[in-house]
Amino acid sequence: MNRLLAGLAAVACVLMLSACASGSGASKVPPPPSTSVAVDAYQIGVDDVVQVSVWRNPELGITVPVRPDGMISVPLVGDVSAGGRTPGEVAADIQTKLGAYVRDPQVAVILTELRSHEYLSRVRVTGAVRQPVSIPYRPGMTVLDAVLAAGGVTEFAAPDRSNLYRKNADATQSYEVRLDRILNRGDLSTNFTVAPGDVITVPERTL
């Protein structure tokens, strides 16, 4: 019985600590690893590269960039609108049109390169930095890489109150970044790996 009570007390303590942490604003835990863009809901843009595959008809497959007019050219079908539509919508359109030439066609449209949608493919650094920037995302990029691209912090910055903001499906989550410790002490515990669309803010210190 004593062990059971001790276990329940430990669980209650953990829950209380969790509740306190959740109410303190920015998270003190690292952000989750960056995930790929949800391509099922992604609207294709100009210059994105798409791969069209037709099951059992490999000669009808193509890999092409979306033209400035938002169209792609598909064998037998001709021009198909891709800009502003999801891969599933484009696949369904091609499948319908191919039905006049191929029996029961099964079409898949896959994004192989995301070249459009500025927000999704860039990382922004704002606030008390030498040069606020919007830089192309690169795999493996960290907070430090992004801040250095912005020229570092100004003399008016409060670097240890910096935050990384990441938008997910439900809301925007903030994560505390101890930038002074990263820059001046070599403490990389909050030098998080960034993801496309992240925003890093460096506030000015309060006088």
CATH number for the segment(s) 118-207: 3.10.560.10
Instruction: Note the pLDDT of residue 68.
Output: 83
Instruction: Note the pLDDT of residue 170.
Output: 76
For domain 49-113, the CATH class is alpha beta
Average pLDDT, the chain: 83
- Tokens standing for residue 50: 């798409």
More confident residue, 44 or 22: 44
Element (H, E) at 163: strand 162-167
Whole-structure pTM over 0.95, yes or no?
A: no
Q: Is 73 helix (H, G, I), strand (E, B) or coil?
A: strand
User: Could you give the residue range(s) of every CATH 3.30.1950.10 domain in the chain?
Assistant: 49-113
Instruction: Note the pLDDT of residue 117.
Output: 63
Instruction: Note the pLDDT of residue 139.
Output: 84
* Most confidently modeled range among 23-27, 116-120, 196-200: 196-200
Taking only the tens place, the pLDDT of each residue in 25-83 is 676 667 766 544 445 567 888 888 999 999 999 999 999 999 988 999 999 999 999 98
Instruction: Note the pLDDT of residue 119.
Output: 47
More confident residue, 87 or 119: 87
| Cβ atoms of 202 and 143 closer than 8 Å | no
CA 193 remoteness from chain centre: 12
Instruction: Note the pLDDT of residue 137.
Output: 85
pLDDT mean over 114-118: 68
pLDDT surpasses 50 at 19: no
CA distances (Å), 175 to each of 24, 162, 164, in order? 11, 9, 5
Instruction: Note the pLDDT of residue 32.
Output: 64
User: Could you give the residue range(s) of every CATH 3.10.560.10 domain in the chain?
Assistant: 118-207
Instruction: Note the pLDDT of residue 65.
Output: 93
